[in-house]
Chain A
């Protein structure tokens, strides 16, 4: 079947089997391999992308179900050579080691800050509870999100 999905602002059309999962559509067709394909059971959160601004697990969503929707992947965070504040936060606070969970963590926490620009540590931990990180113990991820929140608040004040 023909499926057309807007991924990072660009329309991607492809003839796929109805059973194709969104994560494979994203990785195969436009070659956006930043979205990681992990546990395949909606437990690990490495595959999280935004659908109409909301984080979803792309391993448990059919590509066909996304026709007509806007998908954002980790590749969309950097604009014009400038990292998104959430990416800068992960860099500053050393919020990754192997990096496998990172795309999902970045998209999940980007969506959190879009909805709640000043989250508590508890709110961050709840938001990322659908993602598994085996390197950081989560502490640095929470610190990175707080770094991004403060940085964004400062930027807003300057403007």
Chain B
């Protein structure tokens, strides 16, 4: 029987209340939302928080909406709602690609985007999605909000820029012209973590890639942002040869470990192939050649 070690539990009734509790309880307190990453970690004693602050009642943090020149996603938005969001499907279809293969529909009823990003598991899909899209994370603490780019969000394995006494409240995605995005994943069986996955985002203007983002899941200690591929793609017209080269860079720049999901050379190969495929689909979507 697997049961977490003992802890104290309290339910937050406001974001400020949650922050106040996190401040009061210090580094041994953790936020719980869906709990589908944290509770399994606690059962295995890989996480041993002494206090859990339940934020499931903070409905004000559950939304996907367009605001000015951004799409904003509340941290408590559940996977099922990301999957069903017409706004995301229109603006950033990479979310639908990823959500169709994150865990299973029952788990997706509970897990949240905030929990996924804050868990900072290198094999998690939304971290790659948000990295490729160059999302901004809004982190709130006792002295107000700060906004952190995804390139500064991941500090190490299972470690993010969200500090003690702080909470991730929102993910912001800039609306820029010519956007296309896609996620490609290979897993051993339905609902499993990735052996490798690649997210790609392109912004194509007048036949030229104005900006690009490529990020990989499960092939390194953290989500891998393939900045060398971004640099290669920028300023060039989309082409299969270019995407082939970006894939080669991705397979070089990742850092997989051998495990039950496969050996290193296989994972590097996958990272390259999936990067190429994700870029192809992202380009087709950017140029309205595919829905």
Contacts and interface: CB of A to CB of B under 8 A. Distances in A.
Interface stretch (B105-113, B248-256, B265-273): B105-113
Given A57-B107, A64-B9, A40 B43 contact: yes
B85 interface: no
A57 B6 contact: no
Interface stretch (A4-12, A93-101, A125-133, A150-158): A125-133
Interface string B1-28: 1111111110100000000000000000
Nearest to A45: B106
Contacts of A144: none
Given A56-B109, A130-B103, A130-B105, A21 B3 contact: yes
Interface in A93-142: 108, 126-127, 129-131
Given A56-B110, A126-B105, A130-B104, A65 B3 contact: no
9 contacts: A18-B52, A19-B7, A45-B104, A57-B36, A60-B35, A62-B35, A126-B105, A129-B105, A130-B104
Contacts of A89: none
A64 B5 CA distance: 15
A33 interface: no
Interface residues of B, number: 28
Contacts of B1: 40
A148 interface: no
A40 B9 contact: no
A54 B109 contact: yes
A56 B43 CA distance: 18
A18 B54 CA distance: 11
A42 B40 contact: yes
B10 to A, nearest CB: 9
Contact of B2 (A1, A40, A55, A57): A40
A110 to B, nearest CB: 13
Contact of B106 (A41, A56, A62, A67): A56
B56 interface: yes
A78 to B, nearest CB: 22
B291 interface: no
B273 to A, nearest CB: 24
A34 to B, nearest CB: 17
B207 interface: no
B139 interface: no
A19 B191 contact: no
B190 interface: yes
Interface in A19-70: 19-21, 40-43, 45, 48, 54-57, 60-62, 64-65, 67
B106 A55 contact: yes
A75 interface: no
Given A19-B7, A41-B2, A57-B106, A65 B54 contact: yes
